């Protein structure tokens, strides 16, 4: 996994999440929800981290692109981490099968880094 796409409406969230990803030696590409689908198609990230405060209506196209790529990729990439507050994850219930991990808000580097490390480790471990 060389790159991660960070999708968040808030510039502060994009910075915090991106810096945490970089601590894991992964290049972060931070974008707003409005350009997330286009950047996803152009960048081919191995990890996508989505802050659900990022206008769920704008995320449907992104999730559709992730689903399409996962059907054709082996191993199934990209991995998806959803960051959400209470009740936010239900708005994206139709895409639950694409989400590898859900992290609750408030998110801090100390909480997010072990989650990213675990998702990366699950990706790199061979299946028995």
Q: How many CB atoms sit inside 10 A of residue 8's CB?
A: 25
Cα–Cα distance, 28 to 48 (Å, whole number): 10
For 45, 64, 84, 111, the CA distances from 39, given in Å and listed in that order, are 9, 14, 22, 26
71: left (phi over 0), alpha (psi -120 to 50) or beta: alpha
Partnered with residue 59 across adjacent β-strands are none
Which of 104, 105, 100 minimizes the C-alpha distance to 119? Answer: 100
Q: What is the pLDDT of residues 9-38, one digit of tens each?
A: 999 999 999 999 998 889 999 999 999 999
Residue 39, pLDDT above cutoff 90:
yes
Q: What is the pLDDT of residues 84-107, one digit of tens each?
A: 887 777 777 788 888 888 888 888
Task: Note the pLDDT of residue 128.
Answer: 46
């Amino acid at each position: 996994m060389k790159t991660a796409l960070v999708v968040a409406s808030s510039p502060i969230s994009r910075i915090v999440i991106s810096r945490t990803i970089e601590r894991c030696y992964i290049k972060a590409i931070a974008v707003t929800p409005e350009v997330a689908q286009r950047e996803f198609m152009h960048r081919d990230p191995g990890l996508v981290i989505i802050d659900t405060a990022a206008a769920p209506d704008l995320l449907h196209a992104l999730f559709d692109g992730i689903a399409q790529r996962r059907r054709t990729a082996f191993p199934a990439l990209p991995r998806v981490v959803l960051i959400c507050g209470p009740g936010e994850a239900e708005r994206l219930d139709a895409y639950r099968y694409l989400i590898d991990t859900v992290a609750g808000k408030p998110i801090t580097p100390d909480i997010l880094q072990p989650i990213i490390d675990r998702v990366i480790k699950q990706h790199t471990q061979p299946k028995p």
